[in-house]
Amino acid sequence: MIEIVPSILSADFARLADDIARVERGGAKMLHLDVMDGHFVPNLTIGPPVVESVRKATKLHLDVHLMIENPERFVTAFVQAGANSVSVHYEATRHLDGVLGMIRKAGAMAGVVLNPATPVAVLEEVVEVADYVLLMSVNPGFGGQKLIPYVLQKVRRLAALRREKRLALPIEIDGGVHKENLAEVVRAGCDWIVTGSAIFHSADPEATLREMREIAVQAAGVVC
Ligand code: DX5
Ligand code: ZN
């Protein structure tokens, strides 16, 4: 099932509950929350207290993306705050298998994230123990960037690895996706499609989300 996953990074943080309600009305099933520590990426955003507040404001699946160094320090706190899935960067920890185990033990889905230049090949083993894989299609840290085209080749390689290992894990893509490139992103093999500025910087986030869901369904050739 293809999901369009709004990223709140581009939402209005002074009216977060209103913006979340808009994408709920637009049919969102998941919400993407970008956590940045100013070290792993040159930006600083939110922590567990904001996830806790968002948890009280919505029943959507909360998909927390940790762009932080040594994520093992915080994964449990984000799950306890209400995260349903937590993804950590391959590049941000020495003990990736251990961190994924911590997330699962805390009760959430465990995802691994690759920066654009990190090859899919590094996932050869860990893809067996991850619940999903997030491929960054921009260099992490900011919304509103352009999708890096070669990442679609990585999506295709990961989809082939998934088939070869007979796995069902969702492929998530994050960064620079909008109405015009969405069909190509879906056809490359993505299941969870994060999009922030295309939704929240549009005149009508609810309508934009509906349109993007329609484009994705058409591109996937499925009726749901
Ligand atoms: C960037 C974040 C993305 C970003 C997506 O570091 O991980 O989730 O918010 O925003 P857009 O869709 O505007 O590229
Ligand atoms: Zn993200």
Instruction: Give DSSP secondary structure letters for the chain.
Output: --EEEEBGGGS-GGGHHHHHHHHHHTT-SEEEEEEEBSSSSS-B---HHHHHHHHHH--SEEEEEEESSSGGGTHHHHHHHT-SEEEEEGGG-S-HHHHHHHHHHHTSEEEEEE-TTS-GGGGTTGGGT-SEEEEESS-TT-SSPPP-TTHHHHHHHHHHHHHHTT--PPEEEESS--HHHHHHHHHHT-SEEEESHHHHTSS-HHHHHHHHHHHHHHHHT---
What average pLDDT does this structure show over 4-31?
98
pLDDT, one tens digit per residue, over 59-68 is 999 999 999 9
Distance 135 CA to ligand 1 centre (A): 12
What average pLDDT does this structure show over 182-189?
98
Q: Can you say how many angstroms the Cα of residue 174 is from the centroid of all Cα atoms in its chain?
A: 6
Distance 67 CA to ligand 2 centre (A): 8
pLDDT confidence band for 1 (50 / 70 / 90): confident
What average pLDDT does this structure show over 116-135?
97
Per-residue pLDDT at 221: 84
Per-residue pLDDT at 222: 58
24, 64, 135, 162 from 86: Cα distances, Å: 21, 5, 14, 20
Distance 71 CA to ligand 2 centre (A): 15
| Residue 136 Cα: closest atom of ligand 1 | 7
Q: Is the pLDDT of residue 134 over 50?
A: yes
Per-residue pLDDT at 173: 98
Per-residue pLDDT at 194: 98
Q: Is 187 exposed, middle or buried (0-12, 13-18, 19+ CB in 10 A)?
A: middle
Length of the chain as a residue count: 224
Of 1-5, 65-69, 107-111, least confident by mean pLDDT is 1-5
- 48/212 Cα distance (integer angstroms): 29
Among protein residues, the one whose CA lies closest to atom 9 of ligand 1: 143
Q: Is the pLDDT of residue 224 over 50?
A: no
Domains of the chain (ranges; CATH) run: 3-220 (3.20.20.70)
Cβ neighbours of 211 (radius 10 Å) = 17
Q: Is the pLDDT of residue 223 over 80?
A: no
Distance 174 CA to ligand 1 centre (A): 6
Residue to mutate, 44, 67, 86, 197, ligand 1, most ligand atoms under 8 Å from C-beta? 197
In angstroms and rounded to an integer, the radius of gyration of the C-alpha atoms of the chain is 16
Per-residue pLDDT at 66: 99
Return mean pLDDT, the chain. Answer: 97
Ligand 1 neighbours, Cβ below 6 Å, are: 7, 9-10, 32, 34, 65, 67, 138, 140-141, 143-145, 174-177, 194-198
Residue to mutate, 5, 8, 10, ligand 1, most ligand atoms under 8 Å from C-beta? 10
